[in-house]
Structure 1
Amino acid sequence: MRKIARLIAPALVATLAFSAVAPGMAEAAPRYDAPRQQAAHVTPKREAAIRADIAGLRAQIDRAATRRTISQREAAGLRREAADIQRLHTAYARGGLNAREMETLERRIDKVHVALRGERSDRNGHRG
């Protein structure tokens, strides 16, 4: 037991000494704060384009349902996704859209466009 105490005691003292010195060293060190990069805000022209894309998506869904190239159930699901995108756009637009938010919206719109094309050509007993 004494042998262990002889080994642990110096290590404990060294640890305590170092922890007492370390805070003083941190205060003396110069502080460097990297400048924050501001998120690039989207121009009004691009924001108008995204609004037009959402409206166009809804119109395409309605047109496909009217022409019966997709079923009413398929149209309802696609409309729900378009409404989710609209809500997300509204939430993002409150603070001004940045590039990442714009990218997210465009990706989700493209995803619904692909789903619409898939529903039109799925050959599940509907015309088209």
Structure 2
Amino acid sequence: AVVGMFQSISQEIPFRMVNKEFFGLMMANKQAELTLRSSVQNVNKSTGGTLSTVGMRIVMRGRPTSAKFGTVKMGDLMNASVTLELTYLLVEIDGETMLELDKLNSVYKVNGEDLMAEINRQC
């Protein structure tokens, strides 16, 4: 593997139904940006007790490559989706950056280490 060379990274975003936000992700002239937030519980496997909870944030940016409108049935979910080709991905756990990948700006950091630093200095 060559540092900084990445294959396609896509993310499918599910929708229960087609709505305005669905079409907002389909703007091919703009990068869509999504921020996902959660609280992750860590469990002690030997006792079953909860050790701690930490916040997690995931930021994705990309352009649409496909859309599925799903099916229309009375009283049922449509199960629509939009697929984005990601150009940016950030994963933070407990406020600490675990992964930052920015394909357009030659950024690739894992566990706080800038893996592109030497390459960027040479260019």
Question: Do Structure 1 and Structure 2 share a fold, with TM-score over 0.5?
Answer: no
Higher relative strand content: 2
Pick the structure with more helix per residue.
Answer: 1
TM-score (norm 2): 0.27
Q: TM-score, normalization: structure 1?
A: 0.26
State the structure with more CA Rg: 1
